[in-house]
Amino acid sequence: MATKLNWGILTTGWIARKFMVDLRQSATGTAVAVGARRREDAEKFAREFALPRAHGSYAALLADPEVTAVYIGTPHPWHAEWAIKAAQAGKHILCEKPLALDRADAQRIIAAAQQHGVLLMEAFMYRCHPQTLRLVELVRAGAIGDVRLIRASFNVARDFDPAHRMFDRGLGGGAILDLGCYPVSFARLIAGAAAGRPFADPQEFHATGRLHPVAGTDDLASAVAKFPGDIIAELSCGSTVLHEICARIYGSRGWIDVPSPFVPGLDGRDESIVLHRTGAEPEVIAFPSGGVGLYAHEADAVAAALARGDREVPQMSWADTTGNMAVLDAWRAAVGVRYD
């Protein structure tokens, strides 16, 4: 039986609201408190979601004895500080992706979780959805033969707004950290599945991109990675040029079309993938939401790991997180992304 968790929500932004909506459908979790930098924001959030307590600081949330796990949804630059403080407070941690601005800070967070004996998961919610789990099964079973090529793209066309966090260097803005982390994660997952492992790291990585002429953050970037087994991955991300969110996996005997690889089941949507096998009719594999939202799967995965006595969640292990961050560091370096 999974562990019942009392969640504290650390921040009140858009992504925290998404998590809260789906947490109501979780079989294992209940939100009991929220913390914000301004008490009025916390109180408004608490009223909206009928939470028992609202705290006027993140520190006060971490001091709440009723909170056993925290969801951290702040902008990227604050992840390391508050994840480490959460570990020091003895709280289990689900921290939004990317776990930190770079691999070094991610390692600091992991070290704090190890030292204080708490669970830590980087919140790649798509990794916990049934669609992703089925993709891994298909690849491992050889449904499309030997995997040869992975194409993954996360591009969102947005008007330039210097106040938006995507374009603010002080908030860790840019497409690579915010969006590109998903195609990298997806390719590493599928390349690993092809080899019967949880993930794989690229043997070669070549990248380029464009810095926005005003903001100085990356708004379009592309990369090619080569994985063990001669698997090639073509990756792209962007925030101003085009809207394209999709993935395809090509093998020696077919291919899999994944129309919604990174936010499957968002807002309660039903999803499907299409399996194309050589010499056979396309097979649609459906994933009805069943009333369970994307983030509920993630919260339940955390509880299931705790019930087993684990401090890592297999869908997104610490080694997987640091491997992903290493690739993102290389991508940002190739494009010339620098933070204050």
Q: Name the phi and psi angles at 254, rounded to 5.
A: 150, -170
Question: How many Cβ atoms from other residues are within 10 Å of residue 35's Cβ?
Answer: 28
**Are 33 and 67 in contact, with CB atoms under 8 Å apart?**
yes
Active-site residue flag, 97: yes
Helix (H) or strand (E) holding 251: strand 244-251
**Are 44 and 68 in contact, with CB atoms under 8 Å apart?**
no
CA-to-CA distance for 124 and 187, rounded, in angstroms? 13
Q: Report CA 202 to chain centroid distance, whole Å.
A: 19
**Are 160 and 214 in contact, with CB atoms under 8 Å apart?**
yes
**Are 65 and 284 in contact, with CB atoms under 8 Å apart?**
no
Look-up: residue for tokens 């499957």? 264
Identify which of 146, 224, 144 has the alpha carbon closest to the alpha carbon of residue 183: 224
Listed in sequence order, the residues at least 6 apart from 10 whose beta carbon sits closer than 8 Å to its beta carbon are 16, 34, 35, 58, 61, 62, 70, 71, 72, 73, 74, 82, 86
Catalytic hit among 18, 85, 91, 97: 97
* Token pair of 155 as six digits: 């591009």
Identify which of 236, 250, 259 has the alpha carbon closest to the alpha carbon of residue 181: 236
**Are 335 and 211 in contact, with CB atoms under 8 Å apart?**
yes
Look-up: residue for tokens 């299409």? 274
Q: Which residues are catalytic?
A: 97
